[in-house]
Amino acid sequence: MAVCSTAVAVPSSCNLGRSISLEPSKLSASRWLQLTSLRRLPTRSRRLSALPQRRIIPKVEAKKQTFSSFDELLEKSDKPVLVDFYATWCGPCQFMVPILEEVSEKLKDKIQVVKIDTEKYTSIANQYKIEALPTFIIFRDGKPCDRFEGAMPAHALIQRIESVLTVPQ
């Protein structure tokens, strides 16, 4: 047995002008949406309010380069390459954007960070069998040497990259 219950709160200051039924079956779809989408009024509490804090975000210069192929990029890189396979609709991928900027800045002398949109470059995603997002692959001398998936904090990502870079080929 399934039970469905619907409740609508109408503020006392709202003058509807006439008596209406609040049952969804007796209202037009647009009127029902209007009533159910009433906004909550913000509460003023000194405990909950906080002053905005200034955050200093370092500027990272992204260097866009054009290569005729992904393989050429891997071959011509003088450093190992961390490739982030992502999609614009992926929440964890968006979470990783500032983390990758931080990692790129901290390890700029050790590794090159490249982002590949799997929606635009499906052939590359298929070539490396990308099935989960975000997926990270570290390439050394044009060959994959480590692969991992999922969002992680900056310190864990840096530790993972440095452990791969310290292992001799």
Structural domains of the chain, ranges and CATH numbers in brackets = 70-166 (3.40.30.10)
pLDDT of amino acid 167 = 84
The b-or-e profile of 35-66 (16+ CB within 10 A means b, else e) is: beeeeeeeeeeeeeeeeeeeeeeeeeeeeeee
Mean pLDDT over 72-88 rounds to: 94
Element (DSSP H or E) covering residue 167:
none
Closest to 114 (Cα-Cα) out of 59, 48, 67: 67
pLDDT of amino acid 47 = 52
> Residue 90 catalytic?
yes
pLDDT at residue 9 is higher than 70: no
pLDDT at residue 36 is higher than 60: no
Which member of 4, 14, 90, 145 is catalytic?
Answer: 90
The mean pLDDT of the chain is 77
**pLDDT tens digits for range 91-138:** 999 999 999 999 999 999 999 999 999 999 999 999 999 999 999 999
Closest to 112 (Cα-Cα) out of 64, 50, 149: 64
Residue 155 DSSP code: H
Mean pLDDT over 138-143 rounds to: 94
Helix, strand, coil percent values for the chain (each to nearest 5): 30, 15, 55
Which member of 4, 14, 93, 145 is catalytic?
Answer: 93
> Residue 14 catalytic?
no
Which pairing describes strands 112-117 and 81-86: parallel, antiparallel, or unpaired? parallel
User: Which tokens hold the place of 156?
Assistant: 């864990």
For the beta carbon of residue 129, count every other beta carbon within 10 angstroms: 8
Binned at pLDDT 50, 70 and 90, residue 52 comes out as low
